[in-house]
């Protein structure tokens, strides 16, 4: 029969082997989980980039039509108020042209709507997202600007209508 110290040595050896096997299994499991998490993160970034790209394309389409509409609206209001050839209109047209160039450049710099971003690393996907967010911020700024321009033109139209109605009522009262 083995001595009590031999029993303790066997127990220590068995515990050591079990610990080593558990450590190796834990390391393998950790590595697999890390790889899976990394691929899931890349997938999440890819999905986020595609969603942002889709929203950006919709915003750019709306922005281009809004920009054209604001240009026509401002021209009409300027013509109605007699300011069609004024210095203010020349400045506004220069700003409108500059914004038009910015919209064209912005639309040209945005990846195609069907871009999949396959093969891009996490770092590249993060950079793509940052770039798309910056482009979206520019588009939103221009969109809000021309929404405000249209609102200002509508307010001027309302003032012109009110002035016209007042003149018509004054003429009626004189007749």
The pLDDT tens digits of the residues spanning 127-152 come to 999 999 999 999 999 999 999 999 99
CB-based contact 74:92 (threshold 8 Å): yes
Which DSSP category does 110 fall into? S
Average pLDDT, rounded, for the chain: 88
Residues 6+ apart with CB under 8 A from 1: none
Q: Looking at the predicted structure, is the pLDDT value of residue 82 above 80?
A: yes
CB-based contact 60:104 (threshold 8 Å): no
Radius of gyration of the chain (CA): 34
CB-based contact 56:135 (threshold 8 Å): yes
- Per-residue pLDDT band at 44 (split at 50, 70, 90): confident
Tokens of 22: 């558990």
Tokens of 61: 């389409």
Query: What is the per-residue pLDDT for 1?
Result: 46
Q: Looking at the predicted structure, is the pLDDT value of residue 29 above 50?
A: yes
Query: What is the per-residue pLDDT for 5?
Result: 63
Tokens of 117: 């971003």
Q: Looking at the predicted structure, is the pLDDT value of residue 2 above 60?
A: no
Percent of the chain with pLDDT over 70: 97
SS3 content of the chain, % helix, strand, coil (to 5): 90, 0, 10
């Amino acid at each position: 029969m083995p001595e009590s110290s031999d029993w303790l040595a066997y127990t220590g050896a068995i515990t050591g082997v079990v610990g080593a096997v558990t450590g190796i299994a834990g390391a393998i499991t950790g590595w697999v989980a890390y790889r899976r998490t990394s691929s899931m993160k890349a997938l999440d970034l890819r999905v986020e980039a595609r969603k942002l790209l889709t929203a950006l394309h919709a915003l750019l389409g709306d922005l281009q039509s809004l920009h054209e509409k604001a240009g026509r609206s401002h021209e009409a209001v300027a013509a109605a108020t007699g300011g069609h050839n004024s210095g203010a209109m020349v400045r506004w047209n220069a700003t409108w042209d500059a914004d038009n160039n910015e919209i064209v450049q912005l639309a040209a710099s945005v990846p195609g709507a069907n871009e999949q971003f396959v093969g891009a690393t996490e770092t590249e996907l993060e950079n793509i997202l940052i770039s798309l967010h910056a482009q979206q911020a520019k588009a939103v700024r221009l969109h809000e600007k021309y929404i405000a321009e249209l609102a200002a033109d509508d307010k001027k139209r309302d003032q012109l209508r009110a002035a016209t109605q007042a003149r018509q009522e004054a003429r009626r009262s004189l007749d």
